[in-house]
Structure 1
Amino acid sequence: MERIGCDVCVIGAGSGGLSFAAGAAQMGADVVLVERGEMGGDCLNYGCVPSKALLAAAKLAQAHRTGGMGVAPGMAEIDFAAVKDHVAAVIAQIAPHDSQERFEGLGVRVIRESAAFVSPRALRAGGTGITARRFVIATGSRPRLPDLPGLAEAAPLTNETVFALRDCPSHLMILGGGPVGMEMAQAHRRLGAEVTLIARSRVLPREDPELAEPVRAALLAEGVRILEDMAVRRVRPGPVLELADGSEIAGSHLLCATGRLPNIEDLALERAGIETTAAGIAVDAGLRTTNRRAYAIGDVAGQGKFTHLAGYHAGVAIRPVLFGLPARARTAHVPRVTYTSPELAQIGMTEAEARAAHGPRLEVIRVPYAGNDRAQAMGQGTGLLKLMAVRGRAVGVGIAGESAGELIAPWAMAAAQGLKLKAVTSMVLPYPTLSELNKRAAGAYFSPRLFDNPAVKRVVRLIQRVIP
């Protein structure tokens, strides 16, 4: 067996692991990166990248089909296999950035094997024994399948297999009403499939109901059948779903979008003295595990399952691992987006969360897309921005509408830097843009304090009398 030593051993070549390995190597650390699967992890190969490429193709098909603004609708001719070629091409364009060759060029030793700890300071990856001063565990997560009789025999699709389909499903049944389920439901419906989505509660249950409703309504209007508050009793060959109300649904394909499980089972964490929880690896505020030499970042740290969160975690962990400096991972400034049409973006607290936390101090400001000139010009007047503000600061912002994922960006910066709403109102924005929605929301917080304030009016009248 080959035995090597290094400063840092990173386990997992997804977003978090790659970000950490690249940064550490370029700052002079001796880094070994271990990955048993595809470089780029779930995001590049089975998640963010292919899903957004599929959604882009579906949006184009929908625009061609519906027309509008004086442009006559037409029959969209969809080549589903060609759509999947587009998805594969997008992955291929991005893959070199995450490739083994690039990281070896940065000076990282890349080992394409499964990793398992043998002690608190060492692990084995295939035929290589690795001793490291520090370990960074970034093994990500995988699809969680519900415990349903007959499900395994039905060979359900997950996000790891659905993008390999070359023929459009005639009837795609989806279990799960979260972001993945909603995105895949809309994309496949727009590309020609009949789609039925079954959710145990309401769809997008984590999101503000007022903002989730436009997304739900859009999918219904496009022909997606949505069954909420519905449980599945069993799955029969076909596949056929037996529902809790006694009815049955038969389809051509079944997709499970029912959550994620952390990839920790094969790491032999107990040998390293690393404790786990139901959400993943137990970490402190600085992402350190119960083994002081090991850190966990990304999905496996149990603080959220977003690519951008994993990248943020990598930046947090760099501080203690490379420089011995204190660090603390926060979550309030991390946004999330569901990339349906309309998009739904959220940062910080929803209205219900903010009311529970701040009570009567909370002010909720609603700015409809209909009042934005650019939205009207684009035919995108349906949408809403909600600002939750307390004492001149945003404690939460939710947006449902066109480009919501882009519009959330300045609120992410404000949350990260602790900026007040005055910083948003001070921006000078080009006209007409959707970004004006953000400035209008911040301005609406100050408007009653300026325009409905008798004291302000008295001061203005006084000044007008005394100035020459």
Structure 2
Amino acid sequence: METIKTDVLVIGAGSGGLSVAAGAAQMGASVVLLEAHKMGGDCLNYGCVPSKALIASAKTAYSMAHAAPYGIADVTPSVDYGAAKDHVADVIQQIEPMDSVARFEGFGVRVIQERGVFVSPTQVQAGDHLITARRVVIATGSSPFVPPIAGLESVPYLTNETLWELRAQPEHLLIIGGGPIGMEMAQAHRRLGSNVTVIEGATALGKDDPELADIVLDSLRIDGVEIAENAVAKEVRGTAGAIEVEAEDGRIFKGTHILVAVGRRANTDGMGLDVAGIKTHRAGITVDDSLRTTNKKVYAIGDVAGGLQFTHVAGYHASVVIRSILFGLPSKATTRHIPWATYTQPELAHVGLTEAQATSEHGGKLEVVRFHFNHNDRAIAERKTRGLIKVMVVKGRPVGASIVGEQAGELISLWALVIANKMKMSQVAGMVAPYPTIGELNKRAAGAYFSPRLFESGAVKKVVGFVQKWLP
């Protein structure tokens, strides 16, 4: 057994763990990184990267079949599903070196490819290594949650981890779960030629602004995706190629393949957290505002911390704990400035408070600014005019923004910056955006906030009239 002493021990080489390891090592700390599976974690291997690569294939197929409005003849694309998966694998392969063992060893990180288990409040065992660290960061991420639906265990089902191994295109894909993962994969597979049925126990995209979510759902239905809401899956039965899902209300859905996409669970099992005095709850590890666990020498970041489950949140968490563990400075995590996006077409993105949340929190002080994509020249030129920006404003400062439409995931970044820095609408209005761009929509939304104040105000008109009389 090798005994190792280090400044920082990171358990998990996903987005958050890699960020902590690289940052701490490059700033002079000794770092040990444990990863029992694939470097890069879920995002690189099963989540963000492969899903966006497949979505890119689906967009290309859709564009070929819907080119007539641009003066190009529509063609029926010949989809090679296996080749599309080759594209996915190639994208992963191109990014892999950034997350590789060799790269992190180059930073001075000692990488041990073993599972870490706490054997005391201060020690972690990984294979034949016993590690003692000044500070430990748990960044083990999450895995697909498979609900206890009767019969599911006896049917060959897919999750976001196993979907990428599938080479033969599903004839009819059943998706249990109408959240972001389910809807992204529903649209992608429909555009690649599969029939798709989404089975959602409540409301599809139910965590998003309902007005904006409806625009996305309508687009998916136009694409040919069947979306069954309020359909709680009661039983799954059948064999490969002939699967049935029966809902509690008696509806039966038939398909050839089934994808389970009902959410994720934090990876906390088998880590000896109880031995280390680290408490957990239903969603993950219990942490305080500084992301410190009930063991004061141990932090938890990313999905395993039980909050928002996004790659960029794990990266943000890494920056919070690095400040604490390297410099001993107070640092707290917040969610008010964290954006998120669903990469359907049109895209759907949010940051800060939704309209419903802002109404509940601020009441009569709230103003909701709306600006539609069909007033943007670039959107008109590209025939991407279905979309809407909503900005929730309190006393001149945005407290939230919701966007549905072309490049919503890109547009939301500006509002994340504004909210993070407590900027005013006047500062957004003062920005000059190049013409013609989709990005002009943000400035126009800010302009929509000031328009009634400037153009519908009798006081403003009186002042202008007075000045004009006396100007030489």
TM-score higher than 0.5 here?
Answer: yes
2:4 corresponds to: 4
Mapped partners of 1:187, 1:80: distance in 2: 11
Shift, 1:200, TM fit = 0.7
Q: Distance in 1 between matches of 2:257 and 2:318?
A: 37
Moved more, 154-163 or 309-318: 154-163
1:460 — aligned with what? 464
1:298 pairs with 296, 302, 316, which one? 302
> Aligned ranges for residues 49-448 of structure 1 at < 5 Å?
49-67=49-67, 68-238=69-239, 239-448=243-452
Q: Secondary structure at the match of 2:56?
A: helix
Which whole-Å CA distance do the structure 2 matches of 1:65 and 1:168 have between them? Answer: 19
Deviations 1:206-255 (A, max 9, x none): 00111001110111111111100111111112321112222322211110
- Distance in 2 (CA, whole Å) between partners of 1:119 and 1:304 is 29
Q: Secondary structure at the match of 2:285?
A: coil
User: 2:2 corresponds to which letter in structure 1?
Assistant: E
Partner of residue 35, structure 1: 35
Q: Is the 8 A contact 1:273 1:291 kept in 2?
A: yes
Instruction: Work out the CA distance in 2 between the residues paired with 1:98 and 1:169.
Output: 31
Residue range with higher mean Cα deviation, 61-70 or 240-249 = 240-249
Q: Quick one: distance in 2 between partners of 1:394 and 1:199?
A: 33
Deviations 1:173-232 (A, max 9, x none): 000000000000000111111101000111100001110011101111111111001111
Shift of residue 351, structure 1, vs aligned partner = 0.8
* Residues 341-388 of structure 1, C-alpha deviations (whole Å, 9 max, x = no match): 000000111111111111111111111100000000000011111111
Question: In structure 2, what residue type is equivalent to 1:218?
Answer: S
- Using the TM superposition, give the Cα deviation of residue 127 of structure 1 relative to its aligned residue in structure 2, in angstroms: 1.0
Q: Distance in 1 between matches of 2:254 and 2:175?
A: 12
Deviations 1:243-271 (A, max 9, x none): 22223222111100000000001111011
Deviation at 1:155, TM superposition (A): 2.7
Supply the distance in 1 between the matched residues of 2:429 and 2:164 (Cα, whole angstroms): 43
Q: CA deviation at 1:467?
A: 2.2
What RMSD in Å do the two structures reach over aligned CA positions?
0.8
TM-superposed deviation, 1:457: 1.5
How far apart are residue 130 of structure 1 and its match?
0.4
Instruction: Report SS of the residue matched to 1:237.
Output: strand
How many residues of Structure 1 are paired with residues of Structure 2 in the alignment?
A: 468
1:51 counterpart SS class: helix
Q: Give, as a single letter, the amino acid of the residue that structure 2 aligns with 1:108.
A: V
1:115–1:266 Cα contact (<8 Å) kept: no
Unpaired runs of at least 5, structure 2: none
Deviation at 1:163, TM superposition (A): 1.1
Deviation at 1:169, TM superposition (A): 0.3
Q: Partner amino acid for 1:24?
A: A
Q: Which runs of 4+ in 1 moved over 2 A?
A: none
Amino acid paired to 2:62: Q
Alpha-carbon distance in 1 for matches of 2:127, 2:293: 24
The whole-number CA distance in structure 2 between the counterparts of 1:59 and 1:457 is 49
Identity of aligned residues (%): 57
Deviation at 1:449, TM superposition (A): 1.4
Q: Distance in 2 between matches of 1:76 and 1:218?
A: 20
Corresponding letter in the other structure for 1:284: D
Separation in structure 2 between the aligned mates of residue 49 and residue 330 of structure 1, nearest angstrom: 26
Q: Which amino acid aligns with 2:454?
A: L
Structure 1 CA distance for aligned equivalents of residues 455 and 388 of structure 2? 24
User: What secondary structure, in the 3-state scheme, does the structure 2 residue paired with 1:146 have?
Assistant: coil
2:51 is aligned with 1:26:
no
> What amino acid is aligned across from residue 407 of structure 1 in structure 2?
L
Kept in 2: contact 1:35–1:114 (CA 8 A): yes
**Counterpart secondary structure, 1:269:** coil
